[in-house]
Amino acid sequence: MQKRNATVAVIGAGDYIGAEIARKFASEGFAVFAGRRNGEKLAPLIEEVQAAGGTIFGRSLDARKEEEIAAFLADADRHAPLEVCIFNVGANVNFPILETTDRVFRKVWEMACWAGFLAGREAARLMLPRGGGNIFFTGATASLRGGSGFAAFASAKFGLRAVAQAMARELGPKNIHVAHLIIDSGVDTEWVRQRRLEALGPDALDNPDLLMPPSAVADSYWQLYRQPKSAWTFEMEIRPFGEKW
Amino acid sequence: MQKRNATVAVIGAGDYIGAEIARKFASEGFAVFAGRRNGEKLAPLIEEVQAAGGTIFGRSLDARKEEEIAAFLADADRHAPLEVCIFNVGANVNFPILETTDRVFRKVWEMACWAGFLAGREAARLMLPRGGGNIFFTGATASLRGGSGFAAFASAKFGLRAVAQAMARELGPKNIHVAHLIIDSGVDTEWVRQRRLEALGPDALDNPDLLMPPSAVADSYWQLYRQPKSAWTFEMEIRPFGEKW
Amino acid sequence: MQKRNATVAVIGAGDYIGAEIARKFASEGFAVFAGRRNGEKLAPLIEEVQAAGGTIFGRSLDARKEEEIAAFLADADRHAPLEVCIFNVGANVNFPILETTDRVFRKVWEMACWAGFLAGREAARLMLPRGGGNIFFTGATASLRGGSGFAAFASAKFGLRAVAQAMARELGPKNIHVAHLIIDSGVDTEWVRQRRLEALGPDALDNPDLLMPPSAVADSYWQLYRQPKSAWTFEMEIRPFGEKW
Amino acid sequence: MQKRNATVAVIGAGDYIGAEIARKFASEGFAVFAGRRNGEKLAPLIEEVQAAGGTIFGRSLDARKEEEIAAFLADADRHAPLEVCIFNVGANVNFPILETTDRVFRKVWEMACWAGFLAGREAARLMLPRGGGNIFFTGATASLRGGSGFAAFASAKFGLRAVAQAMARELGPKNIHVAHLIIDSGVDTEWVRQRRLEALGPDALDNPDLLMPPSAVADSYWQLYRQPKSAWTFEMEIRPFGEKW
């Protein structure tokens, strides 16, 4: 593996998608800065990446706090130029409108939209003086469609998409590639598997084509990163071939 | 004027659009509950509507406070059944991403999205037991497009639209018409006229076709209210015939 | 009924939607020019409208023929100024892609898109010199979504929508209101009722909220016609309150 | 170069985008079947690809003829399994609506939509029995927006997009990746350069960031081809970083 003089920051480096993004960019020679709420849970990932010869740093990070985000990204940028920032915090909930409490609505927004705004802005602050960079946001079906029961989640995801669009239009001409990756599928995680079994019964997992492996998301981010500036994609929707849409 | 046994709540009853909505529904026999931040400013509107034989009540209202919204709507509903709730709070700002402060981003969201969620949910709480009603939200060009400099405003407006969609899909089958009116134009207010003069010079107001009179917005809401339940519109975009899109 | 010095042309004046549009505009004092493939089938409609004191003329019309469309609209315009032209020809079919023959694909396009282009263009030719008018097109769910099996129908309906958009952007500033009405539902016709019974069984028609009465479509067109030029809608989607979307 | 037992058919193998697609897939070991109206013009491309060790066959092809398309694809499939079919025929024109003749409207549709339907259907016919394949369509800004003057071109491009959507939804679950690549920019061709100079004056070409190099389009197709079936993109929009949108 050839090391690069560049870091990628993964905000929301959970066990599935976030971890795969970290693995992928580490395997391509990036120094990875991985942040998640409880940083101790990053230990196995760090061990694995380092064993493979990669460079990775784990941090506890409350992405809703401006100072924490700013410090996390500044750290990354001190290590080597921050070339990619990926915001990957989710907060999927479903409640009938009358049972959507103030607390839930506000918390989901803080995690999925507000934190993304902070991350994007602070990454831009570091990238603009250098004249380049990549800022990517993870979206979902709910980024485009407010389904019944999704007032809180869709509202946050719509809001995040607007942040991404506004940043893309302002920063694109300044050579910062802002993109929004929409995952139109359940991702193959333990949590999703349990929900499917509960909702659809014991056959729910028989069709392997309906869940997206986290590595496919990481590969899509790699694709976006590799696009030449003469042909940037702002938004890319991905789904498994068996998914209805 | 034939009085109806019905109220309309106008949340964000400002001098222009909100006032026209109040006038229109009052002239059609509705009792109007008009709320705005500084309720004293409603005095001229109240006087005018009453002089024309209409029924109207004005209230100071901080739409970001759950208790205030709930009390305001409960008051309206005690007077006569709450048949229509219109959320009309705006918060248009434009800042480069690096100058979009935490405070601005959060405040714009609280006014334009969070308050709309509260209003919609509390209106639904009153309407569901009666099996019917109308909940309308005012949108803007920024509800569909995150333009450069609009990270805060578009994020809030996207978020409000998601709330409206989720509510429409859940509450439509329960006979509550939820709609989202997109005003794709500047509305003809003193504030907009000043901005245009500053930005475009002394000729900026020569073309009368580019600004939308507030009464046209009120008429559009009346159209939506009048739709039979066999042919409801969720989203309606309106613009003056001279507007580019 | 007060007669107006104005005609409406209804191209595709079938037994359901088209007939209701004719009834509505006739009842509002318009002279109606109704065209359909087999003009003899218009006899009952003509009799009914005339009995109610309305003015109506029926014509056999192959809307895919430029000369026929031009002559039909010129006739209407000679009677009284052509104020509204409504294109309402449908051609809903569903075939797997391999069974979508050349003949079907081309014929559906000629009926649902090509004929609409001809109608819109020839109406514009008559309206532009007078500096005003209304050109409306009937769309469907398939105008926005190419579902499985709908290559032919959706392709034609997408194409018609593009014609409407291009005309709206060019002609709006010249005071011609071009609009596209999307009916996101089955319309309550004998044909649709039979299809539902075949597909869904004897209970298929128990829920009266799932089919749209043709008169609701006519009312929506009337709404669009009545919009002031300071607040035009280009596209309006309507669906019954029980419809999933 | 390692040769593959697979062909790619490029329908609309013009001097710019089509030629680059041919070069790219040839360089990756595909046998290329390149078709364009006047097959003789393919000579320099064939020479170049063969000199580089690639395999390529050129054909004169009127893509609007069912038999020619069918024969062209069958030929390709006989050489080696048809793994990718790319439809790349364009027909960009701009006329005011009154000057959009029947002939132009029909011809643009036949080239840009009808031929695409034929190509997609015939490719599917060959791919379905083998249980896999890739069918890609080239779109444009006009695939999503009917701008003033674009009634003919946008109508055809909207229609092509609907074909792609319907095929993707039907064939995706059968392991055929159908995708639609939207090029939201002028592509850097001699023709586009001349148009820009005429329209915008001698400085029109000073900014190299506004035109997309044809090779970027070819690379995007390669990206789409390389996606694993667990994460397919149906639609991808690409634009140069300096482009307004």
Using an 8 Å CB-CB cutoff, list chain A residues near B158: 158-159, 161-162
Q: Does D228 contact A234 at a Cβ distance shorter than 8 Å? A: no
Q: Does A212 contact D228 at a Cβ distance shorter than 8 Å? A: no
CA angle centred on A85, ends A79 and A86, rounded to 5°: 135
Subunit partners of chain D (3 or more CB pairs within 8 A): A, C
Give per-residue pLDDT as tens, C143-154. Answer: 999 999 999 999
* Tokens 């002279």, located at residue: C31
Residue B138 Cα, gap to closest chain C Cα (Å): 14
Distance from C-alpha of D84 to C-alpha of A108, rounded to nearest angstrom: 43
Q: Could you tell me what percent of chain A has a pLDDT over 70? A: 100
Using an 8 Å CB-CB cutoff, list chain D residues near C116: none
Detail the DSSP E strand segments found in B20-94.
31-36, 55-60, 82-87
* Residue A97 vs residues A41, B162, B178, C239, D25: alpha-carbon distances, Å: 34, 12, 13, 22, 52
DSSP annotation of C113 reads: I
Residue C130 Cα, gap to closest chain D Cα (Å): 15
3-state helix vs strand vs coil in chain D, percent to 5 = 50, 20, 30
Give chain A's contact residues with D (Cβ, < 8 Å): 169, 172-173, 175, 177, 209, 212-213, 216-217, 219-220, 223, 227-245
Subunit partners of chain A (3 or more CB pairs within 8 A): B, D
Count the Cβ atoms, other than its own, within 10 Å of residue C167.
Answer: 26
* pLDDT, mean of residues C54-74: 98
Query: How confident is residue A187, by pLDDT bands cut at 50, 70 and 90?
Result: confident
Distance from C-alpha of A70 to C-alpha of C100, rounded to nearest angstrom: 57
Distance from C-alpha of C194 to C-alpha of B230, rounded to nearest angstrom: 20
* pLDDT, mean of residues D164-190: 95
Q: Does A238 contact D217 at a Cβ distance shorter than 8 Å? A: no
* Residue A109 vs residues A115, A179, D238: alpha-carbon distances, Å: 8, 20, 30
Q: Does B165 contact A154 at a Cβ distance shorter than 8 Å? A: yes
| pLDDT at site C186 | 86
pLDDT at C219 over 90: yes
Give per-residue pLDDT as tens, C155-189. Answer: 999 999 999 999 999 999 999 999 999 999 888 88
Q: Does B97 contact A66 at a Cβ distance shorter than 8 Å? A: no
Using an 8 Å CB-CB cutoff, list chain D residues near A234: 237, 239, 245
Query: How confident is residue C137, by pLDDT bands cut at 50, 70 and 90?
Result: very high
H or E element in which residue A223 lies? helix A214-226
DSSP annotation of A193 reads: H
| pLDDT at site B194 | 84
| Mean pLDDT score across all residues of chain A | 95
DSSP count for chain C of H helices, then E strands: 8, 9
Contact status, residue D139 vs residue C158, Cβ threshold 8 Å: no
Beta bridge partners of C180: C137, C235
| pLDDT at site D131 | 97
pLDDT at A78 over 80: yes
Selected residue with higher pLDDT from A95 and C196: A95
Three-class SS state of C128: helix
Give per-residue pLDDT as tens, D52-91. Answer: 999 999 999 999 999 999 999 999 999 999 999 999 998 8
Give chain B's contact residues with C (Cβ, < 8 Å): 169, 172-173, 175, 177, 209, 212-213, 216-217, 219-220, 223, 227-245
Report the chain C residue with the minimal C-alpha distance to residue D173.
C148
Q: Does A154 contact B170 at a Cβ distance shorter than 8 Å? A: no
| pLDDT at site C209 | 72
* pLDDT, mean of residues C13-20: 93
pLDDT at C100 over 80: yes
pLDDT at A206 over 80: no
| pLDDT at site D18 | 95
Residue D216 Cα, gap to closest chain A Cα (Å): 6
Using an 8 Å CB-CB cutoff, list chain C residues near D96: 170
Q: Does C148 contact D169 at a Cβ distance shorter than 8 Å? A: yes
Chain B and chain C share a number of CB contacts under 8 A equal to 92
Distance from C-alpha of C66 to C-alpha of D102, rounded to nearest angstrom: 8
Using an 8 Å CB-CB cutoff, list chain B residues near A145: 165
Sequence-separated (6 or more) residues with CB below 8 Å from residue A111: A63, A64, A89, A90, A91, A156
List, for chain B, all residue ranges whose pLDDT scores fall below the cut of 70.
Answer: 208
Residue A66 Cα, gap to closest chain B Cα (Å): 8
Global pTM exceeds 0.90: yes
Q: Does B166 contact A154 at a Cβ distance shorter than 8 Å? A: yes
| pLDDT at site B230 | 93
DSSP annotation of D130 reads: G
| pLDDT at site B216 | 93
Q: Least CB-CB distance to A121: which of B100, B162, B171?
A: B100
Read off φ and ψ for residue B34, nearest 5 degrees: -110, 125
Contact status, residue A238 vs residue A182, Cβ threshold 8 Å: yes
| pLDDT at site C194 | 85
pLDDT at D111 over 90: yes
Chain C and chain D share a number of CB contacts under 8 A equal to 133
| pLDDT at site A205 | 77
